[in-house]
Structure 1
Amino acid sequence: MDFAFDARTEEMRAKLLAFMDEYVYPAEPVAEEQRAALASPWDTPAVVEELKAEARRQGLWNLFLPDTEYGAGLTNLQYAPLAEITGRSPHLAPTATNCAAPDTGNMEVLAQFGDEAQKKQWLEPLLAGEIRSAFAMTEPEVASSDATNITTLIERDGDEYVITGRKWYISGAMNPDCRIFIVMGKTDPDGADIRRQQSMVLVPRDTPGVTVRRAMRVFGYEDHSHGGHAEVVFDRVRVPVTNLIGEEGGGFAIAQARLGPGRIHHCMRLIGMAERAIELMCRRAVSRTAFGKPLAQQGVVQNWIADARVTVEQLRLLVLKTAWLMDTVGNRGAHTEIQAIKIATPRAVVDILDRAIQLHGAGGVSQDFPLAEVYAAARTLMLADGPDEVHQRSLARRELKKYL
């Protein structure tokens, strides 16, 4: 088995690493300073737009899309090490390269299932980084880990759909540049097949009846990188039937197609978060002294660092294998591995970040280091795109099926 990166991956890695060193890391404190001076916490700091312009100039743009018509034409295996690099600065680098959720998943949906008019109106400006978007599926009143539970209604009335429902933790909705929602609801709530009851429709944010009610915090943080997470109410919102994505009853299948790549992208970036945590641990360990010797000579600290390195190497291999399978046998063929990385990666990276925070003492939970905010993001990924327990249940059933 060949573990070497191909020539194009090496070329893109070199460009991206240089971009991170020269532009992204220096921009982190600048973005924080600029955000503090903005009229709204959801406005975009000027330095972010500068990063986007530079990334686009360098060809570090839409790296996640394998379709050469819309994206960089990279395979999952080629994109994996690039996503890992952007994960080292998760609140800036993905946005700078137009590879940030939820826009990535929404662009994939439109590229794969949208018609030509929908692509022209919404996909093209998203690809250009001119607008942002949101994906509205999760609801507060039901266990949304089972997507068949959703209660939002999408009712046909002549040439229009009427949408009524309440969503929350809708990523991207607080960003003033968010122009479009992809909304999942039920067009056939009494249908015999519970996986054919749902559909997806495009709802422009400025449509009458759409109310972004409040921002939802994550461990007390406002997640600016994703454009925030919002509670959104749809009160008899009317859109043309031409805003349907794909076919009626196809919403569940589209959601599954959307979440597969999203899960591996999250895991790729999580490895980058872990790498940065290890770097910060090592720098801290060699620069601080306690009880007469450097922290780097304390046995427990050495164990933390060694265990973190072993864990990251294991996770990376599993993620790369999953990416390779997605490229060679498709998402269905890689189903077990996608679930495995979704279970293993957030859990392990949260543990690494926890050790890094511990090593930094009070600084670890402060705003002076990125660890606390990154910890919150990583811990949230044990819930996002399906809670770990749902994936464990599915994976166990698949494993047990061999013996039944």
Structure 2
Amino acid sequence: MTMQRKNQMIWLHSIDFLKLFSNITYDNVPITLPLLREFQKYVARHYKSARLEKKGTKLHSNIQKACEPYLIKSTVKRKEGYVLVRADLYPLTANIKNRKFLYLAHHRHEYKKMLKNEHCRPLIYLQSLPETAFLFSKEQRVLNKIKKVIKKSATPRFFKSKTFISWLNKKVKKLLSNIRKVNTLFEKYPISKTLYGSTINRHGALITTFAQTRNVQTINFQHGVFGEVAHLPVNADVNLVWGESHKKYLESYGVPADKIMIVPPLFPRSLQSRTPFHSISHQKKRVLVALQPLGYGFNKKMIQTIEKAAQPLANRLLIRYKLHPDQRKRRYSTLINPNYSTMYNHGSFSLHTLIEESDIVITPFSTVAYEALLLEKPVVFYSKKTTIYYLRGTPIFVKEFGEFKQLFSKISSEPTYLSTLVAMTKLKDEKSIPMNDKTVASFLI
């Protein structure tokens, strides 16, 4: 599988990052894995200098193998105790009665949301935990080791800039604080397993890495469609994915087949919406636009292009924008025309119903598209033409004003166009039965 050039650059530097700093540990936890995704975001923000330094360098085609020396090789020991679960994933465990669960929220808004669910207990907010009292000299040793690595003549220039050094010191200090808090959690509660999402972000990677240093079994559940960054390397003992196409995708980057298990798809965040959604109009064609965290500039351009193309057909279209969980309406709401467009924060309404009450979904690559295709709704991708690993058929891609204008004209005037779009794009995996309690329980008991 050919990786996009920008992502190749990110991975070339990511492997250097792992190689340079993986031997630096705190409380036996390597600092690199919990910081990997944050480092990749840093590279993306400084892409110009990153590209110049790696010009002409080829990427190892097997990402998993390239990262393998820096992953934790733990020996899982069977233990009694709690399954530590990311609070957002509560629906996966809601009806399992013969297991003890401990729910951990990483964001304040996540904690407040799950606090309203009286069944999501015990519930702990990570930032409210006291830090285990380690000697200050331990933290200083980590910072001094970082300085030594950076000063070495063999260290690439990208890691010697004042900007990077400042960024790394800030991130490491916060990470060490969080490690002390997680240590407090593991000291207070006996943890037998962990259940987190598949994204290798600073939250999941922290818990998974910490647990593996304690020989605790780690389980990651796919909670979004996979991408070239953010989901690799696979670092959990068991990785639950939605179907064969997702399994093959991970295997194409070198993930061992024995680390992957197929389960039916479930979308925990979609099940936690506060209010059912009720459609206010059936005369107009209802267009659901699902945003992704691809930067304000990217989303601004998409919204403005859609708004401009929809304006002449305002009496026949209703545009609904669904924000990503990491986005807030106040930043984007001024870009839309309230006469024919509305915008919702993630979780404001039932996403499942919102999709059902839409005639078509537009998104760059959101998991909302996957949910929509499971419900046999037409999906159009805001992107240049590309390969989408979980699709078969002929997906429709739109990016420019003229393409949107033509799309909106067809869906509002041609009665059979939407059904034609449905027939053109299908999921590779057969439609699965819904996830049930026994499916998850088999991995958690």
Which TM-score tier does this pair reach, normalised by the shorter chain?
under 0.3
Q: What is the TM-score when the length of structure 2 is the normalising length? A: 0.26
Q: Which entry has the higher C-alpha Rg, 1 or 2? A: 2
TM-score (norm 1): 0.28
